[in-house]
Amino acid sequence: MIVVKGKYSGFCFGVKRAVAEAERLSGANNYVLGEIIHNENIINRLKSLGIKTINSLDETTLTEEDTVLIRTHGEPKSTFDILSEKGVKIIDCTCPFVKEIQNIVYKHYLDGYKIVIIGKAEHPEIVGINGWCDNTAIITEKTEDLTNLPFDKICVVVQTTYSEEKFNKIIKIFDNYGVKKVAIFKTICYTTTKRQKEAEKISATCDAVVVLGGAKSNNTEKLFDICSRNCINTFRMVDPFDFDYEKIKNYKKVGIVLGASTPIEQFQEVISNMEKVTEEIITTETAPVETEVKAENKVNAKSEMEIAFNKIKQHNWRPGQVVVAKISLVKENGIVLSVKNTKADFFEVPNEELINEDKSTYKVDDDIRVMVVGKNPTRFSEKAMAKVIAEEAEFEEIKNGKIFEAVVEATNKGGLTAKYGKIPVFIPSSQIKLGFVNDLEKYVGKTLRLKAEKVESRGPRKQIIASQKVILLAEKEERDAIKAQKEQEFFSNIQEGDVVLGTPVRFAPFGAFVSVNGFDCLAHISDLSWTGCNECADVLELGKEYEFIILKIDQETKRVSVGYKQLQPKPWDTVLERYAVGDVVKGKVVRIVSFGAFVEVEKGVDGLVHVSQISNKWLENPVTALEVGQEVEAKIIEINAEKEKMTLSIKALLAEAEPQQEVKEENSDKPVKEKKRGAKKAESQEPEELREWKDNDVGGASIAEIISNLEK
């Protein structure tokens, strides 16, 4: 196994100085304000020397006899002021790069600038820097926070361990600030930049990378992110003795990247653990260089070095291979790269293969990573490199559960096949939807939303086994939970008789479904109008809001009935506003009974024309003069709105008829009226409808008139 280590590994000079100063302290009155570095081993070592770590000045009462060491992250101005007032001895180990930022911020703050700090607000370094402008700085990592800041003068600084690439992207927002005065200081520590570039090189050329550093270390986290983008087999290591070395034993070339808070001794501990599971270890002081082996294996080292050199000299690169080169010239139509130890020292990369349109971002002597996209002649592309990095990063996100989309290309015996970029995707038939799929062919050409159930990665070969069903199931569970919550809230806040606002959302032959606070209630068609209706659309309009009354609640079956007509006036409630006794109305005969006819004056309002009020002539049965559907005119002779009854008379509108003559029966001198006795008998056998009409005090002709007519 070949092990590649960066030149800038281990403590940076600022951390070295702080740790050395702390170790020189002795006695019971020595304190370090905050963790001196994010490394538990170093902190425990200082603790064993009697040096106390405090997280704030409030944790202990400090006097003139005490000494406080300020760590490399630095502290706010107020901390120095408090310690000076108490007469405490201060050992200021603030990193010179951090101290420079504090000076920039303090000077520009006094000159009226608004301070902007790019970095993590909770990081101790940023907390300290913000204290040099009275904690008024805008601290962010998001470009949207910097859009159209309402300040005429702005000073921008950046956390020393921040990603140079991210910072360059963020500060582009200030290109559009017009006449505003913006002072931008790229205050990233040069050792941080070199470590990040080293990490780029190592991770681009190794089969696996181990990033070693404290769990809380920000710069170690940045190095891990950089390596993860270039190498999918990147592992985080906090303690060399707790790491599972089985994960890396089968890789031929492993890079080891150390954070700034990691002592170089821990690298040796990693090597010693790796020796237990590997046959050969090769380290290097410059990355990426192929080989430098242990002293006892110098012969093999020389031969391998010659082989590696010959390969580079012939630049026998494969398409898709990553190459680290140096910019030797920036031209109008592209850039020229220099690759050492090659037959052709210079290679041109045209503008269309570069990421940035702004050529000022490309500086001579800067390193750049490009990908081989063609041979004979060799052609490089920065865009292709960026695309691969983006795809690898996205592949990692998919492995971690990110939902992605893919177009189904074909079917096979067990399910569907697709591709995400160049990565094959397989969707088992049981994972396509919630139910059973009968016809797989209908999914060909369709785009599915997928989530990786399993990711197979064997070197450059990858495959995703995905499921759409898990997404649909999760969404259904979420919808059901939201629905259940809404239903609970709905039923907790309504009761029968409540008047609510509702919106008809769909019609059915039996009624309208009405949305009330997001819950569908039913307004039966019989509860829409007092006069009845054939269709819901005759009364309601979809999407329009109305008032409804809660008629019935059945929480067990989740059914609620509402009514609309119950909130509307009945036709009889306002009939006296439209009609009066003596009015002549037109209507249609809707029903004929033995004692008269009912005439529809308007929808929902019927009047009775008693048989005695139909004609000037005596009628034995109303059907001899009227028929259902016939249009008639009649005069209102009585209205009882409370009992919803109206009495009409057609006879009142007719001309007076000839008085009736007494008619004798054939072969008899006795007039017809002598049959009164028969009439009295008939009275005891009067029709049931008439008796009901009498009992209900139906308006119309008087009872005496009815009996008189019957006698006739």
Q: What are phi and psi of 363, to 5 degrees?
A: -115, 140
Closest CA to 253 of 98, 459, 559: 459
- Burial state string for 328-358 with b = 16 or more CB within 10 A and e = fewer than 16: eeeeeebbbbebeebeeeebebeeebbeeee
Of the candidates 35, 125, 200, 353, the residue annotated as catalytic is: 125
Assess whether 125 carries a catalytic annotation. Answer: yes
**H/E element holding 369?**
strand 367-374
424: preceding bond cis by omega (within 30 degrees): no
C-alpha dihedral (458, 459, 460, 464), degrees to nearest 10: 30
CA-CA distance, 210 to 281, in Å (whole number)?
15
8-state DSSP, 122: T
Beta-strand pair 511-516/181-184: unpaired
680 by DSSP, 3-state: which? helix
CA-CA distance, 407 to 411, in Å (whole number)?
12
104 by DSSP, 3-state: which? helix
Token pair in block for residue 169? 């992207």
Phi-psi region of 645 (alpha: psi -120 to 50; beta: other; left: phi over 0): beta
Alpha helices in 57-121 (DSSP H): 77-86, 96-110
291 contacts 305 by C-beta, under 8 angstroms: yes
**H/E element holding 427?**
strand 423-428
CA-CA distance, 100 to 379, in Å (whole number)?
43
What's the CA angle centered on 670, arms 669 and 674, to 5 degrees? 175
CA-CA distance, 279 to 31, in Å (whole number)?
46
CA-CA distance, 306 to 303, in Å (whole number)?
5
The per-residue DSSP string of 226-256 comes to HHHHH-SSEEEES-TTTS-GGGTTT-SEEEE
Active site residue ranges: 125
